[in-house]
A and B are shown apart, each in its own frame.
Chain A
């Protein structure tokens, strides 16, 4: 092994392993820099997701095709990102973060207003782009990149800097207003810090501070956001207005029972009682048509993906990879928990999709990009000496 390889192993070409059957099979995946287990689980999830989407979209094939196309794009993005070395990612982190922040500012100043919120940056004739989506990855990258050069657990000064790096974009996104995305971005950054070894005393102190800040947050919320919280506390207070979603989604899930009403047979979803049934509330369709069995199955599938992701993070060779991978996979869980929690009525309604099942291109691509990074991290560790 050359000195260069010892110092910066990711800058060299992978070494071809010896010619044996087993290693050749392994070499196919390592050449692609993919983790076959994780990939398989993701593909099962996506396949199942398309099945549910067909039902949730009112059996419109074009919707399913559009989603499948996005999945293909997302997979391509994943494969491409998986080829990057962690060092490249680390080098690009400040750039991605800075660029993302600049675009958030741009949205703040001149963004396109869609659905009552200012989220989109439009490059005329080319694309509409949500900088906040990009921030979901740029944020943990930046903080991991910062912290991995510092001794861990982080010092107070490091925490302060991380707090600044975290706070600014989260505030900008929350102002758009997009509570769901700002929550996810904040989580992504926080998880890095937590995994880096944030002291328990600090966590407790912050928790107390957050509780104290709740009234302040309430005062700064938009009316519709407040309404969502109030409705969450008592959905029956406005059954035809903002309580409608929760009532209909819990009704859908509850009426599904143990085994569900059967695929395409859910009356709540097929008869359009369920709002946003193919986007944020798609899990209610699943719950209605496949019952508790379907719900537990998909939750276990998610758990397997998260477990595999955590394992891959654990085997990463350096702090940057570990922290980034851990954050990505835990944020993935936050998606799941917030979405299922809100649809089943134990969390307030926050615009968070069910990962890789809800209809929507941007989030799928972001998520798969995250898994691409995860795989890049695991793929490159093998090249280090054991």
Chain B
């Protein structure tokens, strides 16, 4: 055997080879059959699974965000627009040398070198390397141009257009309009995810929030075919988005601007309403802030600065500021007294300078120590006599006061579409029991009678009540929108107007209010000088710092922030009221001067053809008058 293996045996070799080759051939066929079996499994048995998977692979549904509706003032002046901005994005996968690209970007955009590190951070935001990461938003024209020229050196770097909300008069309009901001996680939970799939911004406050649904519109969809890198290759189908509806507001941009300038950076608020319609012509809270900062996302330092600002610029005083109304509510109380029959227009009260409840030694003081003597309805308003209203309030009682004042809108939200409005507070017996678990004391009714004590109003409430007064009792619902798209805002007419037994009593109250401005004793007679139309108003002072029983008030001695708030409410012209205004200037001292001047400037601007008085000139007058504070 061993020997035979030493020799070559061609016959045997051929035999062995044939055997092996045959076996190999069988194996080849068997293995090929196995491959075919696998293919049958994939392509026939599992075909459905894979065809679904391949469809899912390539077809993607992309949301098409609608364009946000624009906001105009009553004259068609644009208040909120959509500005195209350009963002810098980077697709990491397509960048060959990230370091070099980032360095070049920093150089081209003329940014500090440290920015490169921030860019690097942001380029890692996206998990998948083919998704664009946002490096920088709001590129300038020059930056876009430089990027365009150097495009060939920057593969994977894109400049993307995006519409961004922009408020041309941000500071003046900030509180009335509100603003949009990036949707946060909390909002995302409560949103219609489909409709907001492509939207990044949502109304946060103000009109932008109130009319979010109309302004936003309906998102569209498109089916696109993409490649493995997520790049869209073609569109397979689409349903177009329905753009948001444009909003026409009742605000008048010029009047709003004037109001803001009149406040001159002082803390305060001015609200103007057209009495017949309830349209809010101006609604200003000062100081304002640049709402554009909030659109792209405000940085922490700036936000903290705004939050910690002692003047609270983010606080919307017009609808959330709660102030004691002071004497501005005297006309309403007079009307309540007339309606309830507690007084007649000819009732006369003797004022010794104070009022005393029966069986009580405490003296409730008139602001004029020696008293006004004989005071009738008109005079009570003109000189803002307290004793008259102590008497009236005491006789009315808190329950009737609460009922009557509620009908003017106090203690409740009055706006139809004003987001975030505060109801403020109109005290009542029930309220006090609920709040303090105490009975109502008669002395507290007296405080309410001169607009102090627990009573709090917002500037909007005061303006709305003034408008109702100017309407002879037809209550108004203040609103900010005039039309949503082409559709005018329809408010239901007033179902329960305030009706007096004698319609002329309105005129008696108006007469008293006119005397405030034109009477020789009127608290705002300086303001009323040279009026070209008939105007009624009422001054008010809200105490910030309460005085002791026998202390005298000396504005100069008090620190500025402890000084009284100045209030004024007014409407004009008397025979056909076109505008009702409420003005509150915080810590301005006596209301008969500062606030009244501002109110007059507003009515002048609205009613007179000629240009509004120079704001500068007015400020001088205010400064002069502030030096000699009289009355309240």
Q: Spell out A's residues near B (CB within 8 Å).
A: 150-153, 155, 191, 194-197, 240, 248, 250-258, 267-268, 271-273, 287, 291-292, 295-296, 299, 302-303, 306-307, 310, 313-314, 318-319, 322-323, 326, 330, 333, 336-337, 340-341, 344-346
Contact = CB atoms under 8 A, between A and B. Distances in A.
A273 B227 contact: yes
Contacts of B12: 152
B19 to A, nearest CB: 8
Contacts of B24: 191, 194-195, 310, 326, 330
Contacts of A330: 24, 28
Contact of A295 (B43, B54, B57, B225): B43
A202 to B, nearest CB: 13
Contacts of B57: 248, 251, 267-268, 271, 273
B40 interface: yes
A326 B16 CA distance: 13
B39 A287 contact: yes
14 contacts: A151-B7, A254-B49, A257-B47, A257-B51, A267-B225, A271-B225, A271-B226, A296-B39, A303-B29, A319-B10, A322-B13, A336-B32, A345-B38, A346-B34
Contacts of B7: 151
A253 B233 contact: no
B18 interface: yes
Interface of B: 5-10, 12-14, 16-18, 20-21, 24-25, 28-29, 31-32, 34-36, 38-40, 42-44, 46-47, 49-51, 53-55, 57-58, 128, 225-229, 233
Contacts, number: 151
Nearest to A249: B42
Contacts of A271: 57-58, 225-228, 233
Contact of A253 (B25, B42, B128): B42
Given A303-B29, A333-B28, A152 B13 contact: yes
Closest 10 CB pairs of A and B: A254-B50, A255-B54, A197-B16, A254-B42, A271-B227, A273-B228, A255-B50, A292-B43, A272-B227, A255-B51
B33 to A, nearest CB: 9
A284 B18 CA distance: 35
A195 B46 CA distance: 39
A238 to B, nearest CB: 14
A295 B40 CA distance: 10
A303 B40 CA distance: 18
Given A151-B7, A323-B17, 8 more contacts: A195-B21, A197-B20, A248-B228, A255-B47, A257-B51, A326-B24, A341-B38, A346-B35
Contacts of B226: 271
A260 B550 CA distance: 102
A248 B53 CA distance: 9
A27 to B, nearest CB: 27
B271 to A, nearest CB: 58
Nearest to B225: A271
A73 to B, nearest CB: 28
Contacts of A250: 42, 50
A306 B20 CA distance: 15
Nearest to A300: B32
Contacts of B34: 346
B21 A313 contact: yes
A151 B49 CA distance: 56
Contacts of A254: 42-43, 46-47, 49-51, 53-54
A10 to B, nearest CB: 17
Given A253-B50, A326-B21, A344 B28 contact: no
A331 to B, nearest CB: 11
A285 to B, nearest CB: 13
A299 B54 contact: no
Contacts of B36: 295-296, 299
Contacts of B29: 303
A248 B29 CA distance: 28
A314 B17 contact: yes
Nearest to B15: A197
A120 B43 CA distance: 38
A346 to B, nearest CB: 5
A232 to B, nearest CB: 14
A352 to B, nearest CB: 14
A344 B228 contact: no
Contacts of B42: 250, 253-254, 287, 344-345
Given A256-B43, A257-B44, A273-B58, A152 B16 contact: yes
A273 B7 CA distance: 60
B62 to A, nearest CB: 16
A231 to B, nearest CB: 18
A267 B8 CA distance: 59
Nearest to A341: B35
Contacts of B225: 267, 271
Contacts of B128: 240
Given A271-B225, A326-B17, A326-B24, A251 B31 contact: no
A323 B10 CA distance: 13
A265 to B, nearest CB: 12
B8 A299 contact: no
B16 A153 contact: yes
A338 to B, nearest CB: 10
Given A151-B5, A196-B16, A344 B46 contact: no
Contact of A314 (B9, B18, B50): B18
B8 A151 contact: yes
A255 B51 CA distance: 4
Contacts of A195: 16-17, 20-21, 24
Nearest to A252: B54
Contacts of A303: 28-29, 32
A313 B227 CA distance: 47
Contacts of B25: 306-307, 310
A255 B53 contact: yes
A306 B28 contact: yes
A344 B13 contact: no
Contacts of B46: 254
B420 to A, nearest CB: 46
A255 B39 CA distance: 11
Contact of B35 (A155, A194, A318, A340): A340
Nearest to A271: B227
Contacts of B39: 253, 287, 292, 295-296, 344
A248 B31 CA distance: 24
A314 B20 CA distance: 10
B35 A292 contact: no
Nearest to B12: A152
A215 B178 CA distance: 69
A178 B42 CA distance: 29
- Looking at B18, B28, B57, B128, the one whose CB has the most chain A CB atoms below 10 A away is B28
- Looking at B9, B43, B54, the one whose CB has the most chain A CB atoms below 10 A away is B43
B58 A319 contact: no
